[in-house]
Chain A
Amino acid sequence: MAVMSFSGESKGFINYIYDRYTNLSIKDITLVFEGQITHQVMKALTGLVEEQLDEVEDDKVLRRVYHVMVESLQNINRHAEAYEYRGHPYPGMGLVLVAKNNERFQVTTGNIIEHGHAGEISMFLGKLNNMDSDGLDDLYKKQMREGILSPKGGAGLGFIDIRRKTGNPLDYSFVKIDEETTFFIFTSTISR
């Protein structure tokens, strides 16, 4: 188990995740991290999990956990809102928890978003959960053909690809912080 923390200042967010974690049947933690999710941090965390699971985990499962982590962390890197705590700005702050039991891995991420975006994200993820695998493949192809890469480098494909590659429903919730900001918690499940 690897625990890393950038600072203890924003314990509040860890608590949101911890509450959810204690309600899960999954207790075996592979990785917990809270801090600024830069590109370098994303590579370090995915590399760490890859190293821990190499040799002990099925290749296919390992590849999917790795992919889900890359996509989820890049989402935070691109979209997490900066927030201020005690006068310090925290751009791209986020949280990640990777845990497993005998049946599955769960990758949970948490980050701040603008409150106004919560409805849109929720609708999109709900739509993905209601689609079958053919529908998801079609949507992925359509988005690849017609989608435009955002200035932040996102292709709008991450959530769709996580949903279709894992085959499992996406779990998501929103915790309102104030009028402007919401904490977005997102969990992907990879069957073992």
Chain B
Amino acid sequence: MSDTAPDARREKASGAKIIRYRGVIKHYGEFHALNGVDLDVHAGEVVCLIGPSGSGKSTLLRCTNGLESIEGGDIEFEGALLARDERSLRGVRQRMGMVFQSFELFPHLTALENVAEGPRTVRRMKIMEANRRALAMLAKVGLSDKPASYPSALSGGQQQRVAIARALAMEPDVMLFDEPTSALDPETIGEVLNVMKTLAEEGMTMVVVTHEMSFARRVGDWVAVFDAGRIVEQGPPEQIFDAPTTERTRDFLSHLGWAG
């Protein structure tokens, strides 16, 4: 539905296209998780993927860094077609940070060790240097007082912020967020969203699967509405939330009680 995506209304469309999805198709057996998805992500943009559960948003994110393979279409990252072999994919993943709904911190490591793990194991950085970087990243997410804490001793919001720091420690070009606040208590959602907002303001390119409509509204540069493995509408947040052009978008937003 690229005709609903007039780039003229897209502020950061002048930036280089970091990710391009073209006709992306993904099956799980008989189930068609993605049914031909077209989407561009420009440098410095925050692209929010919204829509009902099971509509393919998270699947698209997992295909972006090759955690899932695709059956059809193309995904381009920084001008090159996404590799299919594990070795090249590892190189791509190092340039894409990923944050998961269930945090997935390593429970046997402290917060500092969690953040230093990528630089140490993947970038083969010396332990002192990796720790210095990890401390800086923890400070960035407001957790410089928790380096020695194990994940089990941290609140959900703190764990998710450590997970963001862990992804940032690899100095990625893009951050992928897979429902980062869905598993959080309401009172800790804000601290995670604030960290994400700061990142966005610093110019980080972000793809965010979210059910936080106010975040998508305020922070998003571009919003794509998913339904049944397709994008039913995409556009700037003002269009999606104030003047949706498709019945399906109106339907979805009204189910959420979105009142603009």
Q: Do A and B come from one complex?
A: no
Q: Which residues from chain B sit less than 8 Å from chain A, CB to CB? A: none
